[in-house]
Structure 1
Amino acid sequence: MLKGIPSILTPELLKVLMEMGHGDEIVLGDGNFPAASHAQRLIRCDGHAVPELLKAILLLFPLDTYCEQPVALMAKVPGDPVETPIWGEYETIIGEHMQPAIEHVERFAFYERAKRAYAIVATGEKALYANVILKKGVVVE
């Protein structure tokens, strides 16, 4: 245990966040995301929801201010009637750290981008289209 570090952040996840450099990306995948088959580095956070992980990660992880959209969501498949209220939660959480700048990436393009990500975090998130990519920024402190 360490002071000031949210307990939801596992030692493995903290190590990966520390290793990542400016411009590297990390994926927080929902429970349906094919994390194991797409990951270069897989981190298991089963039983945890994406919003709680996102809150904890953004306390330590700067988003890239040198790109227009440092956050990417998997876009809904055209014609899919599913609601995505979790996207509003993401905007609120991100808004606590910066003006939300979020892009929506087509499903298969999202999968290809995820394969190139530094790591993928497999979560137990039950919401659909709850996958998010974060691009790391520069630590200036």
Structure 2
Amino acid sequence: MLRYPLLHPPLLQALATAGHGSKVLLADANYAHRTNVHHRAELIHLNLRPGLVAVDEVLEPVLSAIPVEAVHTMRPDDEDAGTPEVWADYERVLGPDLPLQPLGRHEFYAACRSPELAVCVATGDGRLYANVLLTVGFVV
């Protein structure tokens, strides 16, 4: 029995095998979990039903398990639309030391299809632009 905030065995294994520079995608329910990820990336399904589990609910325990050096989000195509509301939740969880770095949609997809993507966590988060791409840091 673990006394640890993250208990999901397949996710723990996938994160344990990801090293410095690896990417971890926490994907919303609208994301193409099979076609917009690298074919070698581990796919972890947490999308039990729409709205369950949300990306920020996965983000918190993942941050307790791995060091993170960068966080990328998917920028809306319409730049006049403003900042997605969900980003405020991520900023609260991440704190000031890990600022969000938005990428255009196609740049974000390209980053997720790269060989550096080690893990894709499919969530049931229905909020728009709720995808988060973490870059694994190093242990000091």
Question: TM-score, length-normalised on structure 2?
Answer: 0.86
Equivalent residue for 2:25? Answer: 27
- In the alignment, structure 2 segments of 5+ residues that lack a partner are none
Q: CA-to-partner distance for each residue in 1:35-81, whole Å, 9 max, x for gaps?
A: 112233211111311011001100111112xxxxx000000112574
Distance in 2 (CA, whole Å) between partners of 1:6 and 1:119 is 15
Q: Is the 8 A contact 2:36 2:113 kept in 1?
A: yes
> 1:100 Cα shift?
2.5
Question: TM-score, length-normalised on structure 1?
Answer: 0.85
Equivalent residue for 2:125? Answer: 125
> 1:101 Cα shift?
2.2
Distance in 1 (CA, whole Å) between partners of 2:80 and 2:126 is 17
Equivalent residue for 1:37? Answer: 35
- In the alignment, structure 1 segments of 5+ residues that lack a partner are 65-69
Distance in 1 (CA, whole Å) between partners of 2:73 and 2:27 is 10
CA RMSD of aligned residues (A): 1.7
Equivalenced residue count is 131
Change (3 A) 1:59 1:71: same
User: Equivalent pairs: percent with the same residue?
Assistant: 33
Deviating more after overlay: 81-90 vs 33-42: 81-90
